[in-house]
Structure 1
Amino acid sequence: MPQPAAHIPAVPESGTRRIYELALTLDDPLMLVVGEPDDAVPEHVREAARAAWSRDDTDYAPNGGIPALRRAIVEKLARENGFEADVDQVWVTVGGTQAIAQALTIALGAGDEVLVPDPGYTTFTMYPRSIGAVPVPYPLRAEDGFVPRLPQLERLVTERTRAIIVNSPSNPLGVVFDEATLEELVAFAARHDLWIVSDEVYEHFTWSGPHVSVAAVAARTGDQERVLSVFSTSKSHAMTGARVGWLVTPPGFGGTMRALQEATIACVATPDQHAAVAALTGGDAHIRAARDRYRAHIELAAALLDARGFRYHRPEGAFYLWIDVSHASEGDVAGWAQRFLLEARVAVAPGTAFGRAGEGWIRICLAAAPEVVRTAIERLPSPRHEPAGARE
């Protein structure tokens, strides 16, 4: 029997999906394991998709996306993200996940290294392994506020390093990098001639300051051409299953991207693209309502955790909480999360799904209904320390 390519066994499984799919086999678990907004897609967005199906607008689209969507994205980038892009720099993808994959395909070859946040989104590690590249974790530590430190980054650079992934607002930590931090990271990448893959899919949800796009920072120093920016409608418009994202490349990658798109997906489903046009051009009332809801959920969860003495990181962005359960997990948070699901019927993401630095921590999604958040936190095993000074 033929065997898989030698590098395939090195592709790790998703620790969040393992818990999620186990939870789906149970009756009525509390689902806080994946980043799934617990609200409906806006009606005008659903209507745009229905209308496309009704008029049988289901033919192949251009590799880069339908013109109306690419134009809407260009306008959105200028309006909300503070940088200019041409239509030929915008490539509509199957969610932010494929945009990350395309960015890393551009940046990496077999054996090349990419600096990835630890803890960080699972795909940052999984995809490089799938193409024979090497993810090199850079630590994000609680004592540093989960912000990268340049001396640590410098020690990780080798002659094989080709890129660094920057994720702000971050999944799973909810950290938002300020402008000064982003300037340091851009300068670091320029010093070592690295690509920057900037994952900004949680851009609309920041709690302590504005979102700043890496490309906007890089443009001021003439380094925008090293930035590959990733965006999505999944979180902002609850369109996780519609799978519409986009990658913004530097100028001059049209031929390369047409080939990559054709070789992988050809194009994103046309009705889904019409839905995304409606999402980007139909106002931000849905986003504002979601922001208010998630902010309230953060306050609720923080009060419950403070009252019980948990150590946790209060998010500056996104809609997750990063909670220390090391008092219960005893060095195996992945195993503990599975037992917790089976015994307490609560699905949470083990911290090690996001890297070794996540041992002893869990991520919970606060985009669920408030009663689900409350009940889930009440079922967490109490910490052994007193409820004082718990917050990071």
Structure 2
Amino acid sequence: MPQLAPAADAMPRSGIRRVMDAAWKLDRPVIGLHVGEPSFDPPTHVVAAAEAAYETGDTHYTPNAGVGALRSAIADKLRSHNGLEVSPDQVVVTAGGAQALHVAFTATLTAGDEVLIPDPGWPNYTMAVGLLQAVPVGYSLRPENGFMPDFEELERLVTPRTRLIVVNTPSNPLGSVMSAEVVEALVRFADRHDIWLLSDECYDALTYEAVHTSPARFDGQGRVLSAFSFSKTYAMTGVRVGYLVSAPEFAPTLAKLQEPMIACVNAPAQAAALAALTGPQDEVVAMREVYRTRRDAVMAALDTLGIHYLTPHGAFYLWLDVSDRTDGDVATWAVRLLESEYVAVAPGTAFGPVGEGWIRLSLAADTDDLLEGVRRIGDFR
């Protein structure tokens, strides 16, 4: 009997999905604070653009890299919001930010290459790297270092096989935002070791009391690949549109890789994305302010309960320290919380070993659910 490829069989299942599976099996409603799924619908003009595309028959193949009007609008956005001077030809439209990252990994990695990945960090990095038979190597983001990279540790982790470093700011799961100085230092680190830097900027529009800095601003050698998404900014998670930006000499190869992967992003979704960028942005501002209000309300509740946390300055997550409750096994504790209190949270170890003793709460949940979920967490031991 034929066997599945070892890399496919060995790929770990997402720790977040394990909680989701357990929640779906329960016999009563669950307060879901475990998934980064905005509690909003996309702006009405975005939905209208997709509907119009279907109605007018705009449902055919598009160029591998995406329709020209959307790529031009993305280049304008990168110039005005990210401080990046790029041409539309440097932009490849992808099926969400996840596929943008996968294209970047596919273009840069070969079997046995090592990739420096944040720990805690989004688990899909490890999954995608492993599927390509490369080796994920975690670099720590610890509270004693302000949840920022430890450059001495990074230097120790580099080997002749190191090919790429993943940088994620604002961070999922931490909600931390790297300063311009830290971002530039990471680019200089990549320069020094002649490796790629893959920048995950899917939460670039969601910051509070902080300024997002794109690593490509400091890239003089074309080594930074930048991945973005419409999912979080415009509540378009199921529409599946993102984009990948590279130096001009690499963009044709990245676009070529789309053909065997997805051919192209569906045309109505691209119409929706174009409307999102070129239409009014007031709903984006409003959603961001709701996330800020939820954050402040939850932090006040946590202060009352005496639960420690990292104040998030970006994305829509809260990173909570529950180490005094978990007996060194936060994943098991999260399941017990779910079964006892009907509150679903993401255990910190879903994001890497350094996440032991922590949980991630999603501020994308409804405000009342958030506050009730926090109350139940406070009561649970």
Please classify the TM superposition score into its range, dividing by the shorter chain length. Answer: over 0.9
**Which residue matches 1:102?**
103
Asked whether 1:379 is paired with 2:376, we answer yes
- Counterpart in the other structure of 1:327: 324
Match of residue 313 from structure 1: 310
Q: Tell me the residue number matched to 1:78.
A: 79
Q: What does residue 203 of structure 2 align with?
A: 202
**Aligned residue for 2:12?**
12
Q: Please state how far the C-alpha of 1:383 moved relative to its aligned partner.
A: 8.6
The 1-side partners of 2:251 and 2:226 are apart by: 15
1:365 positional shift? 0.3
Q: Which amino acid aligns with 1:253?
A: F
Q: Secondary structure at the residue paired with 2:307?
A: coil
Q: Secondary structure at the match of 2:325?
A: helix
Query: What is the match of residue 211 of structure 1?
Result: 212
Post-superposition Cα deviations, 1:29-84, rounded to whole Å, max 9, x if no partner, equal 11111111101110000000000111121111111111111111011111111011
Structure 1 residues without counterparts, runs of 5 or longer = 385-392
Equivalent residue, structure 1, for 2:67: 66
Note the 1:335-354 alignment, pairs <5 A.
Answer: 335-354=332-351
1: CA distance between counterparts of 2:348 and 2:77? 34
CA displacement, residues 190-244 of structure 1 (integer Å, 9 cap, x when unaligned): 00001000000111111122111111132xxx23x00000100100000000010
Question: In structure 1, what residue type is equivalent to 2:63?
Answer: P
CA apart distance, 1:382: 4.8
Equivalent residue for 2:144? 143
> TM-score, length-normalised on structure 2?
0.97
Q: Which residue of 1 aligns with 2:232?
A: 235
Determine the structure 2 residue equivalent to 1:124: 125
Q: What is the letter of the counterpart of residue 159 of structure 1? A: P
Moved more, 124-133 or 19-28: 19-28
Match of 2:2 in 1: 2
* Residue type of the alignment partner of 2:7: H
Which residue does the alignment assign to 1:389? none
Identify if the C-alpha distance between structure 1 residues 308 and 7 changes in structure 2 by more than 3 Å, giving closer, same or farther. Answer: same
1:337, distance to aligned residue in structure 2 (A) = 1.2
CA-to-partner distance for each residue in 1:292-321, whole Å, 9 max, x for gaps?
Answer: 101100110000001111011110111100
Q: Percent identity?
A: 52
Range 17-26 or range 181-190, more displaced = 17-26
| Conserved 8 A contact 2:245-2:251 | no
SS at match of 2:13: coil
**Is the partner of 2:6 in helix, strand or coil?**
coil
The 1-side partners of 2:156 and 2:146 are apart by 20
Question: TM-score, length-normalised on structure 1?
Answer: 0.94
202-211 vs 159-168, which moves further: 202-211
Contiguous gaps of at least 5 residues in structure 2? none
Counterpart of 2:53 in structure 1 is: 52
- Per-residue deviation, 1:381: 4.0
Q: Is the contact made by 2:241 and 2:269 (CA closer than 8 Å) also made in structure 1?
A: yes
What is the CA–CA distance in structure 2 between the aligned matches of 1:166 and 1:258, rounded to whole Å? 22
